[in-house]
Structure 1
């Protein structure tokens, strides 16, 4: 027979129950008489409350209550409730023998006789202090987290239920989106999306992505309470319970409108820098190519001119030579556009009355544009003159008008308008007075992509052979080199407006510059006296043709392949009456040669021939400039100017 069987036979039912109750140490299990005095005490009660059985039997159970609860009558109410309702259950602070308090779960049942007479109370107490402490810690943590979330004002942090309804709302959300908590809690978060995004189901897609992938993150436009929009960074995380079931979403939104604007400005600055570097590189290449091409055209044009003078009176041969000369001159015009784009053309800025210049071009524009284009002008009564090269301005206006004509194949209206503008401060222009010449057409206009590329060199929308892609870059180069600005505006289907901003001429100083330039020119019908000329050029072909043209004009020529050779020739030959030199040469440039000659032979006439206009500052006004490629007539005019500047005609000097 085992021990349990032995106990069941040797012990009565009451003794077995007593042993069972004593064996339970996690609970204080004891009896009270009808008045609340302790009449039994188990080992669990002794362990929990600290009293031995002998110490507590016969004492009132209010001993275990706090003094405040005793004064409030809590023990009496407890027994009355248990007697009346058949049960009493609560949680509260209870006291141990040593004065320590613990959080107790208390259960009291009344005990009655078979006749219903109250015999006492069964009382069970459990120590829940650790659980309460954990709950308090959790509550404190949740409260701290709530305060933390509420304290964040730069982020909108709020909760959604599984369907997208808002269940919480922090201070940051109120600041960013403009809604108070009572205005949004219980409503769907889709209200923050644009109407189009709502129609496309973007809010639901965001929640579906967060639920399926564990996170949703994006940037986009969101709408505030007042209807204004902001660029938002959005993160949505699913919230799961202990079983992994979805119970909602945590949503964090940040207003990054300013950050996005700063990034866009930085990207625009980078693009502008890249564009400027690209155009500068193309300008350097274009200027160099144009310079070399001008030398080649110089040889071709001068050879053709000399050949035409010596041809027999054969109409067919003359026609072929004239065609060749025409083609070479078109090539020269192309190099001028290239140099204009590269800002290396030789400009002769004077005070120009823009309306008067345009009026002088009316007949030519009418012939060029055709009868289908109606030309209109809007000019102020007496606008200030601008400082610009009139020949280059005419070419620019013609280019812009031809572009407008090509944009209106069925005809239309072309308006040339002059307005006086004042610029206080701008990145593209110096402060001051300007005249804006705008040329507007009623053509098809350009889309944004075409407009962005319109002024890039060699970009054209015209067919092969119908455009060089240098017309607008030439205008832009002229404006920049003249101290102004070129602006192109266009909308697809609404025409194009080209604006040429030019600085107003500053009174007497510009007028004097224009007058001195005019006085230094050649007079019609004049012929320079025969001279001993030193011709200088490092290109043997150009040198040979320059020599031929000079000799054909009746001059004697000594050639030099470098500036140093030319300097030695002049020093050794006092009879030299003129020096014609190229500018760009290895070792010593033409302007450096002339600087030496001005000191040694200040009376000597000088002509500087250049393929482009990057001449050093401070070049003497007594130096006559000659743009390559030049023909014999232009050479003769330059010689006449050089002699006039030095007063040779009045002094009768010559060879």
Structure 2
């Protein structure tokens, strides 16, 4: 074997290939140039394949590229040896390299043929393009189906909502209209007992109207359209102040425990809505426990981290005050939890609940920039946790006054601007009865014209917010240009965006929410006029 390789590598018996070309320069350089270019091309191909495979490790059959690269390298080497043999007769080495190239060629071919069906199964660019178009079309159909489903669900929710509103309002209107008709008959057929009967039916009608007020406020709260007047408060102090009321709301067989967290942060919320929300949770817990069990209201400081915030898109990372209301009732199954915040959804018997309690809590918390979550298991009770953003402001202390003067002094002038004639008549008659001098107009343009004709000073402007033409905010600005320092009290049934932004009253704005009882109207006006 060794002798064979010695003879194979022996060059003394052979002449260089250039002799065969008679050392013709043209032929010599033609062969050299061709082999150089071919070799360079062959050597560059493995470099390209290597870069491609290294950067695209996801490519199927990547090892074939390595086998092909070795084969191409061997081919390039044969062309290099063809140049050398023009001057040096190393035909043995050239033969060995050609043999290695042949083996690499055969192996590569043997590998490729069995892989051919699998390679043909790989989608072509045209097939991939068709598949992409099909996916786009399928995505379009899916989006259309999702839109149709959302629209169907929205219409179902609207139908449920309007049905609930119609049902409750029809009941309330029946109470109001029925009692007013009784009052009218009583006046027409006056007897000795008519006065007591008249008081009773008027009180019943007023009660129905008050329930309608609560209903609209809860609907606005759920829709996050309730104008909030947030103030910095300490939740522990608020709960302690309501503890006696909570205890009266619960039965004697329900144990109440309020656990206030130490060093509790302040929150900035509407105190009235906060109290209403907590009371709704207490009432729901009482009804769930069937007048027997324990109710715990616990407060603590909490931090919402990135992981929890990512699960709730509308909840930013940060510091919060947590209020947890826990009961020992039967708990909620999952399907009830998913609908618990829907308006008019209730599991109570007919007539025992409106289905708006948790809706009010949800709307108030969301409008206040917070988060609410239900934790419940059947048979293990329910915990509802409210998270309200921490406020750096100091809680306001309650201002006590020795006495409150409801009526006017007889010389204070109020301008009333309200487009609804019945509401305007009610306001004018009520304020005149409280001994105020009244100027009134149906809209802003008329009021400005009247003031131009008679620019006598006005002590207070009482104006509706939503009116035809110029809205109340714009009108108040015009009046304050004409009488700087004029006090303004707005009133509205639904404020849109004139004086409420992000669910909160603009700074320095005073607002009365319609409908406005006489006592509320008188007290607020007195407060505005006495403000220094």
TM-score, scaled relative to structure 1 = 0.50
Matches within 5 A, 1:240-251: none
Change (3 A) 1:339 1:382: same
- Structure with higher Rg: it is 1
Distance in 1 (alpha carbons) for counterparts of 2:331 and 2:459: 58
Specify which structure has the bigger relative contact order, considering alpha-carbon pairs within 8 angstroms and separated by 6 or more residues: 2
| CA-to-aligned-CA distance 1:179-207 (integer Å, 9 cap, x gap) | xxxxxxxxxxxxxxxxxxxxxxxxxxxxx
Q: What secondary structure, in the 3-state scheme, does the structure 2 residue paired with 1:435 have?
A: strand
Corresponding residue to 1:315 among 196, 206, 222: 196
Q: Does 1:349 align with 2:235?
A: no
Matches within 5 A, 1:413-492: 413-425=294-306, 426=309, 427-492=313-378
Change (3 A) 1:549 1:527: closer
Distance in 1 (alpha carbons) for counterparts of 2:329 and 2:506: 48
Q: What secondary structure, in the 3-state scheme, does the structure 2 residue paired with 1:498 have?
A: strand
Question: Which residue number corresponds to residue 144 of structure 1?
Answer: 114
Q: What secondary structure, in the 3-state scheme, does the structure 2 residue paired with 1:588 have?
A: coil
Question: Which residue number corresponds to residue 459 of structure 2?
Answer: 577
Q: In the alignment, is the contact (CA less than 8 A) between 2:325 and 2:385 conserved in 1? A: yes
Q: In the alignment, is the contact (CA less than 8 A) between 1:522 and 1:638 conserved in 2? A: no
Matches within 5 A, 1:620-635: 623-635=509-521
Change (3 A) 1:282 1:568: farther
Distance in 2 (alpha carbons) for counterparts of 1:332 and 1:558: 28
Q: What secondary structure, in the 3-state scheme, does the structure 2 residue paired with 1:467 have?
A: coil
Corresponding residue to 1:537 among 413, 418, 436: 418
Question: Which residue number corresponds to residue 501 of structure 1?
Answer: 387
Distance in 2 (alpha carbons) for counterparts of 1:359 and 1:379: 9
Q: In the alignment, is the contact (CA less than 8 A) between 1:365 and 1:398 conserved in 2? A: yes
Change (3 A) 1:378 1:603: closer
* Range with bigger deviation, 593-602 or 369-378: 369-378
Distance in 2 (alpha carbons) for counterparts of 1:622 and 1:571: 26
How far the C-alpha of 1:402 sits from its partner, in A, is 1.1
Q: Does 1:595 align with 2:477?
A: yes
Corresponding residue to 2:255 among 371, 374, 379: 374
| CA-to-aligned-CA distance 1:78-129 (integer Å, 9 cap, x gap) | xxxxxxxxxxxxxxxxxxxxxxxxxxxxxxxxxxxxxxxxxxxxxxxxxxxx
How far the C-alpha of 1:529 sits from its partner, in A, is 2.7
Q: What secondary structure, in the 3-state scheme, does the structure 2 residue paired with 1:351 have?
A: strand
Q: What secondary structure, in the 3-state scheme, does the structure 2 residue paired with 1:528 have?
A: coil
Distance in 2 (alpha carbons) for counterparts of 1:275 and 1:385: 41
- In structure 2, the gaps of 5 or more residues are 1-108, 123-138
The total of aligned residue pairs comes to: 373
How far the C-alpha of 1:146 sits from its partner, in A, is 9.9
How far the C-alpha of 1:604 sits from its partner, in A, is 2.2
| CA-to-aligned-CA distance 1:294-318 (integer Å, 9 cap, x gap) | xx99xx89x99xx9xx999943332
Q: What secondary structure, in the 3-state scheme, does the structure 1 residue paired with 2:490 have?
A: strand
How far the C-alpha of 1:431 sits from its partner, in A, is 2.6
Q: In the alignment, is the contact (CA less than 8 A) between 2:321 and 2:388 conserved in 1? A: yes
How far the C-alpha of 1:613 sits from its partner, in A, is 4.6
Corresponding residue to 1:616 among 463, 485, 499: 499
Q: In the alignment, is the contact (CA less than 8 A) between 1:624 and 1:641 conserved in 2? A: no
Question: Which residue number corresponds to residue 73 of structure 2?
Answer: none
Distance in 1 (alpha carbons) for counterparts of 2:402 and 2:391: 25
Q: In the alignment, is the contact (CA less than 8 A) between 1:438 and 1:497 conserved in 2? A: yes
Q: Does 1:607 align with 2:489?
A: yes
Change (3 A) 1:603 1:522: farther
Distance in 1 (alpha carbons) for counterparts of 2:113 and 2:260: 75
Q: RMSD of the alignment, in Å? A: 4.1
